């Protein structure tokens, strides 16, 4: 009963009657000289974040698979904000295709000498059952977990270098979670394969999505543990239930459900803005979970227990997931 009440409370507070954003573009400090990457930055929530950052003078890399969509978004941003002092770049990035990710990271590293914020915003949701990545992984697991992990690891040295001279708490990596952490994940967030070599494939497409989002909560916590000493803040966020392109591969019933409860996509931009830039997230809150529209939140106890290290009485799933991600992505480093 306690778990059910917790689920109802989480869904209610993260979907209905949400307080207005408390951290907006009006609170954002000048971003001239700062360099940020937004994966999936040319559509949906990612584009909404770009609209908040570009007028503040940021150098933004909008990363994704479509050069045409990237060019369209850049032209639209430049038209909307003709006086912006920022700079916009497209970066090709296919998170599902692991061997290609290193080239994308190298392209960025060849152009820039700093990276202040890596916003792992991109993802896919519930494609048709059986959809696989080019390397044969379940598509959501590859795109939402293994790909972002690999991309982040390839950029980690530059993040650490930037943190040495940046203002405390401003170099960040943020990982995209979802309300699916509460409503679609297996108990404890993730399941592992029988041999422990990867995330389980013995789940429904809905569970695979929820599992990938819970995995990102785990990566947010575990990266905070591992990189906090280097001055990097990591966190994860539920951007909110939104009208966006993310649901393009869902079925009609799923689309109808989202239609009736979803909010305007711009509100999700404020959730992510808070996660990436709010001074409320200090080093003491490294590993935090952000909920709509920019508040420190929490997630279910089963996931909390799974994330907690074994030496603290937990299941150690975050550490195990990290080790799996390292093994899966090692050939592509």
CATH number for position 184: 3.40.50.720
The answer as to whether 12 is a domain residue is no
The answer as to whether 7 is a domain residue is no
Alpha-carbon separation of residue 278 from 7, 120, 123, 169, 310 (angstroms): 27, 17, 23, 9, 32
Q: For residues 16 and 199, give the distance between their C-alpha atoms in angstroms, rounded to a whole number.
A: 32
DSSP, res 209:
H
The answer as to whether 9 is a domain residue is no
- The answer to whether 66 and 42 are in contact (CB under 8 A) is yes
- The answer to whether 119 and 37 are in contact (CB under 8 A) is yes
The answer as to whether 14 is a domain residue is no
Of 74, 60, 77, give the one whose Cα is nearest residue 116.
60
Alpha-carbon separation of residue 271 from 4, 152, 236, 267, 289 (angstroms): 26, 21, 10, 7, 11
The terminus-to-terminus CA distance of the chain in angstroms comes to 45
Of all residues in the chain, the percent with pLDDT exceeding 90 is 88
Confidence of residue 4 (pLDDT cuts 50, 70, 90): low
Question: Domain residues for 78?
Answer: 22-332
Confidence of residue 30 (pLDDT cuts 50, 70, 90): very high
Confidence of residue 259 (pLDDT cuts 50, 70, 90): low
The answer as to whether 1 is a domain residue is no
* Residue-level pLDDT at 295: 97
Confidence of residue 34 (pLDDT cuts 50, 70, 90): very high
Give the SS3 label for residue 234. strand
pLDDT tens string 174-218: 999 999 999 999 999 999 999 999 999 999 999 999 999 999 999
As a whole number, mean pLDDT of residues 48-69 equals: 99
The answer as to whether 15 is a domain residue is no
Residue 295, strand partner residues: 291
| Catalytic residue positions, numbered | 209, 213
Q: Which residues of 266-285 are buried (b: 16+ CB within 10 A; e: fewer)?
A: bbbbbbbbbbbbbeebeeeb
- The answer to whether 314 and 308 are in contact (CB under 8 A) is yes
- Size of the chain, expressed as the number of residues it contains: 333
* Residue-level pLDDT at 2: 53
Q: For residues 100 and 103, give the distance between their C-alpha atoms in angstroms, rounded to a whole number.
A: 6
- The answer to whether 295 and 49 are in contact (CB under 8 A) is no
User: pTM, whole model, 2 decimals?
Assistant: 0.94
- The answer to whether 232 and 163 are in contact (CB under 8 A) is yes
Alpha-carbon separation of residue 14 from 10, 156, 180, 182, 261 (angstroms): 6, 31, 11, 10, 11
* Residue-level pLDDT at 221: 99
Residue 199, strand partner residues: 192
- pLDDT at residue 5 above 80? no
- The answer to whether 234 and 223 are in contact (CB under 8 A) is yes
Confidence of residue 77 (pLDDT cuts 50, 70, 90): very high
Q: For residues 22 and 17, give the distance between their C-alpha atoms in angstroms, rounded to a whole number.
A: 14
Residue whose tokens read 């920019």: 294
Q: For residues 286 and 20, give the distance between their C-alpha atoms in angstroms, rounded to a whole number.
A: 24
The answer as to whether 11 is a domain residue is no
Kindly tell me the burial class for residue 109, based on how many C-beta atoms sit within 10 Å of its own C-beta (0-12, 13-18, 19 or more): middle
- pLDDT at residue 251 above 70? no
Number of structural domains found in the chain: 1
Q: For residues 239 and 154, give the distance between their C-alpha atoms in angstroms, rounded to a whole number.
A: 25
As a whole number, mean pLDDT of residues 91-110 equals: 99
* Residue-level pLDDT at 16: 74
* Residue-level pLDDT at 242: 79
The answer as to whether 53 is a domain residue is yes
pLDDT tens string 135-175: 999 999 999 999 999 999 999 999 999 999 999 999 999 99
Average pLDDT of every residue of the chain: 94
């Amino acid at each position: 009963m306690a778990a059910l009440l917790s689920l109802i409370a989480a869904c209610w507070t993260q979907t209905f009657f949400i307080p207005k954003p408390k951290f907006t573009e009006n609170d954002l400090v000048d971003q001239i000289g700062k360099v940020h990457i937004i994966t999936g930055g040319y559509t949906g929530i990612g584009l909404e974040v770009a609209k908040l950052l570009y007028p503040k003078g940021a150098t933004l890399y909008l990363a994704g698979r479509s050069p045409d969509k990237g060019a369209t978004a850049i032209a639209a941003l430049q038209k909307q904000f003709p006086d912006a002092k920022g700079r916009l770049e497209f970066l090709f990035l296919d998170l599902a295709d692991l061997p290609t990710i290193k080239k994308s990271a190298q392209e960025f590293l060849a152009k820039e000498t700093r990276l202040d914020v890596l916003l792992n915003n991109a993802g896919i949701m519930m494609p048709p059952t059986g959809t696989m990545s080019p390397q044969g992984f379940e598509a959501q697991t590859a795109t939402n977990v293994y790909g972002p992990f690999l991309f982040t690891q390839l950029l980690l040295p530059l993040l650490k270098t930037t943190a040495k001279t940046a203002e405390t708490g401003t170099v960040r990596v943020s990982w995209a979670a979802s309300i699916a952490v509460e409503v679609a994940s297996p108990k404890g967030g993730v399941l592992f394969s029988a041999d422990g070599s990867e995330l389980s494939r013995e789940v429904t497409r809905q569970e695979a999505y929820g599992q990938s989002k819970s995995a990102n909560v785990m990566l947010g916590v575990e990266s905070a543990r591992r990189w906090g000493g280097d001055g990097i803040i990591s966190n994860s966020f539920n951007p909110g239930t939104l009208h966006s392109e993310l649901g393009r591969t869902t079925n009609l019933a799923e689309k109808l459900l989202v239609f009736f409860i979803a909010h305007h996509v711009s509100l999700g931009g404020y959730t992510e803005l808070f996660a990436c830039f709010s001074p409320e997230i200090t080093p003491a809150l490294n590993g935090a979970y952000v909920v709509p529209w920019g508040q420190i939140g929490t997630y279910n106890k089963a996931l909390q227990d799974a994330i907690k290290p074994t030496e603290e009485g937990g299941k150690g799933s975050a550490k195990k997931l990290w080790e799996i991600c390292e093994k899966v992505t090692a050939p592509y480093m």
